[in-house]
Amino acid sequence: MVLPLITVGQNYRLDSITGSNGLLIYSLYDNSGNAIKDYYKYSTIDWKYENSFDINNNKTEVIIFENNGGSWDEFQRFTYIYNNNQIVTSEYFTWSSGSGQPAGWIYDQKAENSYINNDLVLAEMYSWDGGQWNIIQKSEYNYTNNNQDLVLTSNWDGTTWSPIAKTERVFLNNNLSTETYSSYSGVSWSISFSASYSCNNTLLNNTIYGLTMADFSQFSDQVTEMVYSFGDTYTYHYSNYSPTNSIEDISSVNKEVLKVIDIAGREVKVTINQPLIYIYNDGSVKRKMILE
């Protein structure tokens, strides 16, 4: 995922995503507007994403921690290599706890991306077998009027490519409107589910965002709502952002606190001398500590 650079004009950032199924995703930012931590909470799932960036504000590494009984344990890791601010290689690692081998990160998969005229056209997926990379899958991307309207995914069986899934997109006034996800049975395509989107008119290339649940970098405008055909609805909450301001400088005028959580993601009462995270009714998030 390529993070857009800050440009002249009004900037926005994605502070949180709320879901009708109880999902809550929220991000914490540094003074450059980069989402340095993302938190994912749903039912018994509690993850923390720690993100690193280069001098061009490109995300270079993501380490995912899983909350196990109040302890954040390493879970997954992604690294990204760029060329002209475009991801050309992404690598995926899993964490070994040391059972039968030294504790640490283990290669799992990687993707190699190809571009034409700055558009992603091919992503090839490889699996690590302990000695070499073996190609296992590819995704091919098609564009109409500069909009990415088709993604076709195929598996490699060692001899031939076999289509397994596709995503078809419809745009209205260059805004993402619907996505349809289909699977291939070996004979014909069948629709699995679909999603509909609401967008605003704020250009996404002026947006600094955190965890998005999807890569919207190829779309013109901010996604404000996503509704799946099976009933789940997700709402995206943005706030004004100035790259000269810190997290603590965000105005809280006309906002109400929905909940207060600690750095482990547990809902708590306001206490002194403890760093806490305040989540507001407009979806914004603020980190602060009251000193005695």
Taking only the tens place, the pLDDT of each residue in 184-235 is 998 999 999 999 999 886 665 556 667 777 766 666 677 889 999 999 999 9
Do 137 and 160 lie in a common domain? yes
pLDDT classification of 153: cutoffs 50, 70, 90: very high
C-alpha closest to that of 48 among 71, 67, 35? 67
Does 3 reside within a domain? no
For 82, the token pair is 């760029």
- Domain of residue 191 covers 11-250
Do 56 and 100 lie in a common domain? yes
Q: Cα-Cα-Cα-Cα dihedral of 210, 68, 24, 110, to 10°?
A: 40
> Is the pLDDT at 245 greater than 50, yes or no?
no
Structural domains of the chain, count: 2
pLDDT classification of 164: cutoffs 50, 70, 90: very high
Does 216 reside within a domain? yes
Do 259 and 239 lie in a common domain? no
> Is the pLDDT at 252 greater than 60, yes or no?
no
Mean pLDDT score, 164-184: 93
pLDDT classification of 259: cutoffs 50, 70, 90: confident
Do 163 and 33 lie in a common domain? yes
Do 245 and 292 lie in a common domain? no
Q: What is the CATH number of the domain that holds 210?
A: 2.40.128.720
State how far Cα 7 lies from the chain centre: 21
pLDDT classification of 5: cutoffs 50, 70, 90: very low
User: Which residues lie closer than 8 Å to 85 by C-beta, 6 or more apart?
Assistant: 2, 5, 56, 58
Does 5 reside within a domain? no
